[in-house]
Amino acid sequence: MPPDQNELGWKETVRMNPLESCIVALRPVAPTLPFEVPNSIRLIDPTMPEGTVLSGGPWGFTDPIAEPVTVINHEVNFGWEYVYHCHLLGHEEMDMMHAVPFAVAPRAPSILNLTLLNGPRRIQLSWHDNSISETGFIIQRADDVNFTTGLVTFTVGADVTIYTDTTIVNNKAYYYRVQANNVVGDTAIYPAPSIGFPSVSMASAFSNTVTFGPPTITTSSNLPPGEVGVPYSQTLTAINGIKPYTWSISVGALPPGLTLITFQVTDSVGGIATKQIRIRIDPGPTITTLNLPPARLNRPYSTTLSANGGTTPYTWSISVGTLPPGLTLNPTTGVISGTPTITVLSHFTVRVTDILGSTATRALSIQVNP
């Protein structure tokens, strides 16, 4: 049955006949809405002044374990408040109304930012409040991105969007995230032996995660090898900390040779990270062919130049002189091949160049016999 014209909200009506028994179980459900519904925060008895001692039913108030309690009229968060209304038709004075608190999670905060403050050093967090129904925010800090180790929780009240963490220590990484919280129910503390009244806490999803800590060197422990006599350049990288970074060598020295060096990076506020990184410096290529076999006039000829060292692949060329007429050098394979056309003793110099530009040369000759 739809609401009457003088009613607002949602309405469900159950009609019964006289002398009929009925049990009605209702389960409130939050519908999908394009807007957020605010909490119903009101006095327990809106008809009485705040601070008034409420009388309760015929036997007064009791808590969930049947302990008598004195209830002072105060504000309580009823969440999305529903109301039971029982009415006997024909007997206007015979009715009953009862509030039903309904806890709904608030919308998650967003745009979490981190700022480092000095004097003393502390971290200031700020975020965007996207909800109108939170009763506070929960800030989580952990030692890992999954928030499984070193978890610490801080809380702030509703509508607060800044928190300053004054408990950080130097050279330690921290991860932060925030969620909104909505506590529905009577949270007042009642004197023992009463246990008070139950409340429900509904939390939003978490915001984005931000991190702070000393820098971490992300460069691989093994840099690409270099070669003697070839210009070398590699950029070290780091994350976290506060830029700009300052790089230095804390242990060891730059090559020559096979060297293990400890690099250190220091951020702008004194955070330090070190990492051992290996740089291998190889000798350039060396031509290992010492002599070439003789050729015969008008007979097919083939021989392969060889080299070692450097970084392959190689490129072969003739830097001085020429090959005997009819022979050519393959620049990729180093094969000298063809059919000589004249008898001659040719002297020439071969050059090998590796992929890094390092070169080696060797003087050779080929005798073409009749």
Token pair of 14, please?
């159950």
What pLDDT score was predicted for residue 153? Answer: 97
pLDDT score of 92 more than 70: no
Q: From 210, 221, 272, select the one nearest 246 (Cα to Cα).
A: 272
Alpha-carbon separation of residue 12 from 6, 24, 91, 339 (angstroms): 15, 11, 21, 104
What pLDDT score was predicted for residue 260? Answer: 56
pLDDT score of 294 more than 70: yes
What pLDDT score was predicted for residue 258? Answer: 47
What pLDDT score was predicted for residue 98? Answer: 78
What distance in Å separates the CA atoms of residue 158 and residue 137, rounded to the nearest whole number? Answer: 7
Which backbone phi and psi does 366 adopt, to 5 degrees?
A: -130, 125
pLDDT score of 132 more than 60: yes
What pLDDT score was predicted for residue 90? Answer: 61
pLDDT score of 35 more than 90: no
Please give the mean pLDDT across all residues of the chain.
Answer: 86
pLDDT score of 331 more than 90: yes
Token pair of 133, please?
């129904």
- HSE, CB side, 13 Å, CA atoms: give it for residue 22: 11
What pLDDT score was predicted for residue 200? Answer: 94
For residues 224-244, average pLDDT: 75
pLDDT score of 323 more than 90: yes
Q: From 240, 212, 215, 236, select the one nearest 224 (Cα to Cα).
A: 236
What distance in Å separates the CA atoms of residue 143 and residue 13, rounded to the nearest whole number? Answer: 54
For residues 297-310, average pLDDT: 93
For residues 149-164, average pLDDT: 96
Domains observed in the chain: 110-212 (2.60.40.10), 216-282 (2.60.40.10), 286-369 (2.60.40.10)
What distance in Å separates the CA atoms of residue 75 and residue 186, rounded to the nearest whole number? Answer: 8
Of the candidate ranges 73-77, 98-102, 138-142, 254-258, the one whose mean pLDDT is the lowest: 254-258
For residues 276-291, average pLDDT: 84
